[in-house]
A and B are shown apart, each in its own frame.
Chain A
Amino acid sequence: MSATLFPAQEIGSLTKPRWQIVGQHGDPLDQRAREEFRVANERTHFADDAPAAAEALLAGRSRDAGAEGVRDLGALFALRLFENAGLARVYDGEARRIEMYEYPIRQMRGFQFQGHVRSFDNKYYLKAAVTDEVRLERPYHVEEFDFVRRHARAEPKLPITGPYTLADWSYNEYYLGRRAGWKGPSVRRAAQREFVVDLAKRAIRPTLAALIERGCRVIQIDEPAAGTHPDEADLVVEGFNAATDGLDAEFSMHICYSDYRALLPTLLEARRCRQWAWEFANRDRDGRDGYEVLGALREYGDARSVGLGVADVHRDEIETPELVADRIRRAVTYLGDPTRIWVNPDCGLRTRRLDVATRKLEAVVQGAALARASFENPRA
Chain B
Amino acid sequence: MIVRTGLTGPFPRSEALVAATRDLDRGRATAEVVEDLYGRTESEVVALERRLGFDTVTGGYLRWPDLFRPFAETWEGFTVGPLTRWFETNTFFRQPILHAPPSRVKGAIAARLPPAVRAEPGRAGVLLPGPYTFAGLLENRSGETEEALVHRLGRLLADEVRELAGTGYVTFQFSEPLLVDRPPERALAEAVVAAYASVHAAAGGATSLVWTYGADATPAFPLLDRLPVSAVGIDLAETDWESVPASPDRRGLGLGVVDPRTTLVEEASDVVRIVHALKDRRRPSVVWLGPGGPLDLVPWEPATRKLHLLPAVRQMLDPSRSGRP
Indicate if the CB atoms of A117 and B297 lie closer than 8 Å: yes
Query: Which residue from B15, B240, B297, B301 sits with its C-beta under 8 Å from A185?
Result: B240
Encoded as 1 (CB less than 8 Å from any B CB) or 0, chain A from 103 to 121 comes to 0000000000011111111
Encoded as 1 (CB less than 8 Å from any B CB) or 0, chain A from 165 to 176 comes to 000110111001
B74 at the interface (CB under 8 A from A): no
Indicate if the CB atoms of A171 and B90 lie closer than 8 Å: no
What is the CA–CA distance of A335 and B173 in the complex, to the nearest angstrom? 49
What is the CA–CA distance of A184 and B302 in the complex, to the nearest angstrom? 20
Indicate if the CB atoms of A173 and B264 lie closer than 8 Å: yes
Query: Which residue from B22, B237, B299 sits with its C-beta under 8 Å from A117?
Result: B299
What is the CA–CA distance of A115 and B301 in the complex, to the nearest angstrom? 8
Indicate if the CB atoms of B274 and A182 lie closer than 8 Å: yes
B300 at the interface (CB under 8 A from A): yes
Q: What chain A residues lie within 8 Å of B36 (beta carbons)?
A: none
What is the CA–CA distance of A253 and B85 in the complex, to the nearest angstrom? 21
What is the CA–CA distance of A314 and B90 in the complex, to the nearest angstrom? 17
Query: Which residue from A115, A122, A181, A186 sits with its C-beta under 8 Å from B299?
Result: A115
What is the CA–CA distance of A184 and B262 in the complex, to the nearest angstrom? 12
Q: What chain B residues lie within 8 Å of A184 (beta carbons)?
A: 236-237, 239-241
Which one of B91-99, B117-125, B155-163, B283-291 contacts A? B91-99
The size of the chain A interface, using a CB distance under 8 A, is: 31
Given A122-B25, A177-B264, A228-B85, A183–B66 Cβ distance below 8 Å? no
Q: What chain A residues lie within 8 Å of B88 (beta carbons)?
A: 228-229
The size of the chain B interface, using a CB distance under 8 A, is: 44
Given A122-B21, A173-B264, A185–B12 Cβ distance below 8 Å? no
Indicate if the CB atoms of A185 and B216 lie closer than 8 Å: yes
What is the CA–CA distance of A162 and B264 in the complex, to the nearest angstrom? 23
A147 at the interface (CB under 8 A from B): no
- Other 10 A-B pairs with CB < 8 A, given A171-B298, A172-B264: A117-B12, A117-B90, A117-B297, A120-B65, A181-B270, A184-B241, A185-B216, A185-B240, A188-B237, A188-B261
Ordered by A's residue number, 17 sampled pairs between the chains whose C-beta atoms are within 8 Å are A114-B263, A114-B298, A114-B299, A115-B18, A119-B92, A120-B93, A124-B22, A127-B298, A129-B302, A171-B261, A176-B262, A177-B264, A182-B270, A184-B237, A184-B241, A228-B85, A257-B85
